[in-house]
């Protein structure tokens, strides 16, 4: 089956898998230089709506494939990279398939559990610890709704050091419950976010886009605080055929290198998303009208929601960076970079464009630049000093 056939009607999963695949590929290669073992935990493994006999369209098979690639690379330089995986799945029917798949894996340590995440937290921690002192864990949390990964429940996983986390935050699903008056819903919100005030704060926002932003940003903030992560990023995944957000993939790391890699993958994924969605929409039009179209799908899709979202976040990020610079104190480039890249769809090249523009306009001075250096760089002790008027 082609990729298009495997993901027909669930193109959002293709984007999710693309991000997981590309990130893990780079992650595993990088980690392999400093650590002896990678411990990968998929807390909601599936298989879920898989179309492939070999499960090539599942997160667990994709993860194994990418981790193995890094092992091959490191083997060529004489380093044996140890791979360990733990796959959890609650549903017995899905679990049976997962187990059958896992039992065939002989070159990687794979353990499976047929239980809810809530019943497995201690087991996950024990599995991670068993990897030893030179093991780096990566935790993937990919639920179907908004239950079973409450903040207090996943807190021990977020606090693992070292460790990184990728969480599928079902924004659209969660958004629908904001105005629900039911007390139970209120409590569920509080548990999910690990904060009782979030629902009221979001309810107070009238604009729907602002609400969605507040939802995923508050969630990412709480992941950051709970796990002691200095950095979180959110990749936006839209519905395939309607111009609305479906979910955000929230990534948390303690290293700027991780942010750098995730943002590159996010950028590639957004290009892919534009194309995949345009094609999905075109296929639907052709089916509905029984008429072939003359032009390629991308040319026929004029809505460009990703471009519009990017404009929105660029404006917000630039505004916040300006406010930081105009705060009256010199600012290390790292602080500007961290702030700007915490917004979805904002890349490092945007930060460089702004600084170039402000510097050439005489609004910004950058200390610590080398004679031929045009834009600030990370870890070069570049300090940004605002010289223009404060707004
Ligand atoms: C969205 S699917 C996972 C898809 C998979 N990660 C992928 O990308 O191929 C979520 C899976 O988690 C399972 N599940 C739901 N709640 C769970 C829980 N509390 N603990 C463990 N598994 C759960 C569901 O049965 C389903 O198979």
First to last CA, the chain: 57
Q: Is 117 in the pocket of ligand 1 (CB under 6 A)?
A: yes
How many angstroms is it from 44 CA to the middle of ligand 1?
4
pLDDT at 210 over 70: yes
Give the distance from CA 134 to its chain's centroid: 25
Measure 276 CA to ligand 1 centroid, in angstroms. Answer: 24
What's the predicted TM-score (pTM) here?
0.95
Strands 245-253 and 231-238: antiparallel
24 C-beta closer than 6 A to ligand 1: no
- Chain segment 248-290, per-residue pLDDT in tens: 999 999 999 999 999 999 999 998 888 887 787 777 877 888 7
Number of other CB atoms surrounding residue 296 within 10 Å: 12
Output the pLDDT for position 151: 98
Q: Which of 244, 381, 384, 386 is nearest to 326 (CA)?
A: 386
- What is the per-residue pLDDT across 78-110, written as a single tens digit (0 to 9) for each? 999 999 999 999 999 999 999 999 999 999 999
Which pLDDT belongs to residue 300? 65
* Residues pairing with 232 in the sheet: 252
CB 205 within 8 A of CB 179: no
Any idea which of 88-92, 116-120, 183-187, 218-222 has the lowest mean pLDDT?
183-187
**Cα(89) to centroid(ligand 1), Å:** 6
Tell whether ligand 1 has an atom less than 6 A from the beta carbon of residue 88.
yes
Q: Which of 42, 45, 138, 150 to mutate to test the pocket of ligand 1 (most atoms within 8 A of CB)?
A: 45
Q: What whole-number distance in Å separates Cα of residue 290 and Cα of residue 166?
A: 41
- Token pair recorded at residue 332: 């290390």
Whether ligand 1 lies within 6 angstroms of the CB of 7 is answered as: no
Q: How far is CA 12 from CA 20, 214, 265, in A?
A: 12, 22, 15
The CA R_g of the chain, rounded to the nearest whole Å, is: 22
Residue of the CA atom closest to atom 20 of ligand 1: 116
**Residues above pLDDT 90, as percent of the chain:** 81
94 or 3: which leads in pLDDT: 94
- Give the pLDDT confidence score for residue 275 in this predicted structure: 82
Cβ–ligand 1 distance for 55 under 6 Å, the answer no
d(CA 221, CA 225): 6
> Over the stretch 18-39, which tens digit does the pLDDT of each residue have?
999 999 999 999 999 999 999 9
How many of the other CB atoms lie within 10 Å of CB of 256?
A: 16
Question: 51: Cβ below 6 Å to ligand 1?
Answer: no
- 343-386 pLDDT, tens per residue? 999 999 999 999 999 999 999 999 999 999 999 999 999 999 99
Q: What is the mean pLDDT of residues 136-161?
A: 97
């Amino acid at each position: 089956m082609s990729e298009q056939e495997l993901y027909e009607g669930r193109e959002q999963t293709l984007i999710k898998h693309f991000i997981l695949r590309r990130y893990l590929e780079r992650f595993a290669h990088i980690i392999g230089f400093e650590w002896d073992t990678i411990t990968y935990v998929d807390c909601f493994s599936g298989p879920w709506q898989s179309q492939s006999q070999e499960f090539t369209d599942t997160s667990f098979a994709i993860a194994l494939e990418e981790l193995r690639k890094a092992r091959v690379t490191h083997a060529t330089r004489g380093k044996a990279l140890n791979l360990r995986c733990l796959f959890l799945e609650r549903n017995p029917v899905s679990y049976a398939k997962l187990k059958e798949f896992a039992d065939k894996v002989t070159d990687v340590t794979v353990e499976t559990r047929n239980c809810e995440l809530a019943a497995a937290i201690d087991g996950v921690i024990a599995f991670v610890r068993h990897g030893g002192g030179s093991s780096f864990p990566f935790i993937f949390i990919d639920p179907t709704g908004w239950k079973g990964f409450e903040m207090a429940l996943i807190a021990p996983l977020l606090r693992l050091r070292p460790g990184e986390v990728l969480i599928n935050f079902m924004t659209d699903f969660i958004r629908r419950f904001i105005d629900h008056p039911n007390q139970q819903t209120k409590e569920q919100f509080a548990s999910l976010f690990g904060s009782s005030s979030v629902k009221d704060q979001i309810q107070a926002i009238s604009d729907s886009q602002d609400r969605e932003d507040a939802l995923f940003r508050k969630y990412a903030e709480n992941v950051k605080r709970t796990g002691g992560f200095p950095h979180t990023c959110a990749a936006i995944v839209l519905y395939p055929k309607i111009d609305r957000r479906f979910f955000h993939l929230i990534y948390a790391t303690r290293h700027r290198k991780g942010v750098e890699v995730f943002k590159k993958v996010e950028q590639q994924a957004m290009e892919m998303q534009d194309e995949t969605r345009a094609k999905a929409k075109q296929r639907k039009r052709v089916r509905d009208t029984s008429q072939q179209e003359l032009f390629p799908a991308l040319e026929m899709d004029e809505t460009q929601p990703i471009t519009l979202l990017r404009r929105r976040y660029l404006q917000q990020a630039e505004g916040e960076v300006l406010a930081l610079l105009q705060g009256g104190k010199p600012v290390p480039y790292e602080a500007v970079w961290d702030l700007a890249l915490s917004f979805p769809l904002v890349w490092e090249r945007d930060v460089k464009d702004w600084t170039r523009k402000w510097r050439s306009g005489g609004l910004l001075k950058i200390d610590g630049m080398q004679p031929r250096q045009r834009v600030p760089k990370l870890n070069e002790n570049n300090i940004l000093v605002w010289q223009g008027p404060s707004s």
